[in-house]
C-alpha cells in the first residue's frame, strides 16, 4: 500500500515528505486547499481524530497518523535500515537527537510559527497582525539561533557530526524565514548557522520537495 500524505503544499506536511524521500519510501499526495476550506469536507473530517485543523494526515493502508513529528518518528523506526539514518546510530546519539528535537519543538517552533502566521498567513487572509507578537517572536528566535550558533561551532549538525531529524525538521519554516519572510539576515549574520542552513537546504530531498510542491504563499 502506497503511503498517502494529505495537503503537501503546507509546511508541516513538507516536513513529512522530505523525511519520506530521505527514507526512500514510496508515497503519493492528495492536494487539499486549506484556504478554500477543503480540509473541512466530509472525506477529510472522517479521517480526523480531533478538530479539523490537523495537518498533515498520513494514511498507510488502514493506519492513520497525525502530527508531522510523530509521523517522522514512526517512519524512522519502521524503516530503520532503509535510506538515511535520521535518529543516530547508537542509543546515546539518539538521545542527543531527541534533545535537539525538543529544542526545535519548544524553542524554535513557537516563535517561527507566530512569525509565519503574522507575516505570511494573516496578510493573505485579510487579518491584522500583532506587532508585539512579531517583536517578541523575533527576539525569541534570535535567542534560539544564538544557541544553535554556539552548538554548530562545535559540531557539524545539531545532534553531532551526523545529519538527523533534528536538522531536517527546520527545513519548512526555515525556508519561509530565508525566502518569503525576507529575514535571511537572522541566519546570515551567524556564521555557523549560515553554513548549516546552506548544507541542509541543499540536500536533494529538500530540493525535490520544493520542486514538486509549491507553497501557497
Of 113, 103, 167, the C-alpha closest to 136 is 113
Cis peptide before 125 (omega within 30 of 0): no
Helix, strand, coil % over all residues of the chain, rounded to 5: 60, 5, 35
Half-sphere exposure of residue 167, counting CA atoms within 13 Å on the CB side?
A: 30
Strands 3-6 and 57-60: antiparallel
- Given candidates 67, 85, 130, 138, which one binds its own copies under the rule CB under 8 A? 67
Q: Is 103 in the site for its own copies (CB under 8 A)?
A: yes
Among 117, 120, 134, 147, binds its own copies (CB under 8 A): 147
Binding to its own copies by residue 95, rule CB under 8 A? yes
**Counting contacts by CB under 8 A, is residue 52 touching its own copies?**
no
Rule CB under 8 A: choose which of 74, 138, 140, 199 binds its own copies: 74
CB of 130 to its own copies, least distance (A): 13
Residue 35 CB, shortest distance to its own copies, in Å, is 22
Applying CB under 8 A, among 66, 117, 129, 215 the residue interacting with its own copies is 66
CA distance 175 to 110: 16
Cβ distance 120 to 176 under 8 Å? yes
> Residue 203 CB, nearest distance to its own copies (Å)?
24
**Cell for 9?**
503544499
92 lines the binding site for its own copies (CB under 8 A): yes
Does residue 158 contact residue 151 with C-beta atoms inside 8 Å?
Answer: yes
| Cβ distance to its own copies smaller for residue 80 or 188 | 80
Scanning 2-10, 100-108, 174-182, 198-206 for contacts with its own copies by CB under 8 A, the matching segment is 100-108
Among 2, 45, 49, 127, binds its own copies (CB under 8 A): 49
Cell 542527543 identifies what position? 96
Backbone torsions φ then ψ of 190, nearest 5 degrees: -120, 105
Interaction pattern, residues 159-178, with its own copies; x per rule: CB under 8 A:
--------------------
Cell of 61: 493502508
User: DSSP code of 157?
Assistant: S
Q: Is 5 in the site for its own copies (CB under 8 A)?
A: no
- Distance in Å from the first CA to the final CA of the chain: 32
Our finding on whether 38 is near its own copies (CB under 8 A) is no
Residue ranges binding its own copies (CB under 8 A): 49-51, 63, 65-67, 69-71, 73-74, 77-78, 91-92, 94-96, 98-99, 101-103, 105-106, 110, 147, 150-151
Amino acid at each position: 500500500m502506497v503511503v498517502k500524505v494529505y495537503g503537501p503544499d503546507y509546511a508541516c506536511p513538507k516536513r513529512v515528505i522530505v523525511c519520506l524521500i530521505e527514507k526512500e519510501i514510496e508515497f503519493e499526495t492528495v492536494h487539499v486547499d486549506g484556504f478554500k476550506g477543503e480540509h473541512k469536507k466530509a472525506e477529510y473530517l472522517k479521517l480526523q481524530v480531533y478538530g479539523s485543523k490537523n495537518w498533515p494526515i498520513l494514511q498507510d493502508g488502514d493506519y492513520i497518523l497525525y502530527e508531522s513529528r510523530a509521523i517522522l518518528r514512526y517512519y524512522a523506526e519502521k524503516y530503520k535500515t532503509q535510506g538515511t539514518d535520521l535518529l543516530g546510530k547508537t542509543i546515546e546519539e539518539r538521545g542527543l537527537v531527541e534533545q535537539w528535537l525538543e529544542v526545535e519543538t519548544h524553542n524554535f517552533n513557537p516563535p517561527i510559527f507566530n512569525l509565519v502566521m503574522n507575516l505570511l498567513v494573516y496578510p493573505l487572509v485579510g487579518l491584522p497582525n500583532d506587532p508585539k507578537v512579531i517583536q517578541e517572536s523575533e527576539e525569541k528566535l534570535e535567542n534560539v539561533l544564538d544557541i544553535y550558533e554556539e552548538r554548530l561551532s562545535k559540531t557539524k549538525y545539531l545532534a553531532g557530526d551526523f545529519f538527523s531529524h533534528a536538522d531536517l525538521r527546520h527545513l519548512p519554516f526555515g525556508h519561509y524565514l530565508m525566502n518569503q519572510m525576507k529575514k535571511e539576515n537572522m541566519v546570515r549574520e551567524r556564521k555557523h548557522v549560515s553554513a548549516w542552513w546552506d548544507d541542509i537546504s541543499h540536500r536533494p530531498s529538500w530540493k525535490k520537495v520544493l520542486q514538486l510542491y509549491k507553497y501557497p504563499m
